[in-house]
């Protein structure tokens, strides 16, 4: 299941970026629900919220380190919250969400030198499916860790 989830995240993210990169003009917005949800193609050479622009080699390096650490955590039985239990599955799914999003954005950084973003809710910086996977994974991971400490 881990590999299927990982594959699906990367596939949907890369496919959506490919499609929207072809149909949307750069830095132009297409209202889907005017004033609330738009599609806006941007090229993000920074990290979250466009911070630290044009530091691609640093982001590639830190992404690779994070990916290796996540893979090690997924393989290490000691880092599991509860072997073969529900909490462990949640923990592993959270790590795979983060891993899938990180890998997909890394593909952009290596191949393009920037990350393609297009989801625009107007009150938040423009983001993509990989960013969503990372964010959801981080929230689920925090929840899983919090719940495991409270048992």
User: Is the CA virtual torsion 24, 125, 97, 55 positive or negative?
Assistant: positive
117 labelled catalytic: yes
Pairwise CA distance, residues 50 & 141, whole Å: 24
Catalytic one of 13, 108, 120, 131: 131
Catalytic one of 13, 108, 117, 120: 117
131 labelled catalytic: yes
Strand partners, 38: 31, 120
Reduced to 3 states, what is the DSSP secondary structure of residue 31? strand
Q: Measuring CA to CA, which residue among 97, 108, 106 is closest to residue 132?
A: 97
CA 96 to chain CA centroid, Å, is 10
Helix-helix angle 129-150:86-112, to 10 degrees: 150
State the catalytic residues: 117, 131
């Amino acid at each position: 299941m881990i590999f299927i989830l990982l594959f699906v995240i990367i596939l949907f993210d890369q496919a959506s970026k490919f499609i929207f990169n072809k149909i949307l003009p750069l830095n132009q917005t297409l209202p889907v629900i005017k004033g609330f949800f738009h599609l806006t193609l941007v090229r993000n050479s920074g990290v979250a919220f466009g911070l630290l622009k044009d530091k691609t080699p640093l982001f590639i390096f830190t992404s690779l380190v994070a990916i290796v650490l996540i893979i090690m955590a997924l393989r290490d039985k000691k880092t599991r919250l509860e072997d073969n239990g529900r909490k462990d599955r949640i923990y592993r799914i959270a790590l795979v969400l983060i891993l899938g999003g990180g890998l997909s954005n890394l593909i952009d950084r290596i191949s393009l030198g920037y990350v393609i973003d297009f989801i625009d809710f107007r009150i938040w910086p423009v983001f993509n499916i990989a960013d969503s996977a990372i964010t959801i994974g981080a929230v689920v991971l925090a929840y899983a860790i919090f719940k495991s400490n409270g048992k």
